[in-house]
Copies of this chain bind each other. A is one copy, B any other.
Amino acid sequence: MVRTKMIIQYDGTNYHGFQRQINAHTVQQEIEQCLYKLTAEKITITSAGRTDAGVHALGQVIAFDSDSTIPPERFDLALNTILPPDIRALKSELAAPDFHPRYEAIQKQYRYMIYREKEQAIFFRNYACCYSRELNVKAMQGACALIEGKHDFKAFCSTGSSAKTSERNVYKCSLREKGPFLILDISANGFLYNMVRIITGTLLKIGRGRQKHDISEIFACQERSMAGPTAPPQGLYLAAVEYRN
């Protein structure tokens, strides 16, 4: 039995999120079915993090055990021959027998895309938050700087989270303009449920000049109601996951 670590990319549009569910088409189920076709083994994969319905991944990390003759570093190629066109294996390699993509992650990076034009917005509706109103990008960038660092992100977390603590260390939170897009890149030692989408919703409110409470106030009071709304899932991408070594 050998454990394989694999980096995968997916377009989440046509899936009910990553995690296996009864009566819903999910990324996990699709990959496990393809692994079954490939190996005739009933393989259960673990992942670095669930993604919600409509959320995408540029570099999700999964792991699984197999007795197959396919070597770990060739599993990506083998899997790509049968994966649907909206899921790709980018890289695979041998992992330690106890490697777990979530528990051992030391850093995760998310990206959030905002499409700012009215024109042709229908072509980006599944891949960005389409937001054509005027935004004060400088003010949003100022708020990004305040989000960096170690804080209690309780106010930026949806109810239903099972996290033990809501303290997280945000290594980077940067917002840049690129053509018709605003791109938010945020990396941290971990993320609470909906944290990036609530941060984005708050930044958009700041950009509109409609956010009453500034970032430091929200951190001080830790009230979800003081932060902005949860931005839509379509703009969110799990960009990368880092491990020691």
Contact = CB atoms under 8 A, between A and B. Distances in A.
Interface stretch (A38-46, A69-77, A82-90, A211-219): A82-90
A58 B11 contact: no
Contact of A123 (B56, B125, B179): B56
A163 interface: no
- Assembly stoichiometry (copies): 2
A99 to B, nearest CB: 25
A120 interface: yes
A18 interface: no
Given A58-B120, A120-B9, A120-B58, A125 B85 contact: yes
Contacts of A58: 120
A110 interface: no
Contact of A86 (B10, B85, B122, B127): B122
16 contacts: A9-B120, A9-B122, A10-B122, A11-B122, A11-B123, A11-B125, A56-B123, A58-B120, A85-B122, A85-B125, A86-B122, A86-B125, A87-B122, A88-B122, A123-B127, A179-B179
Closest 7 A/B residue pairs (Cβ): A11-B122, A88-B122, A85-B125, A11-B123, A86-B122, A123-B127, A9-B122
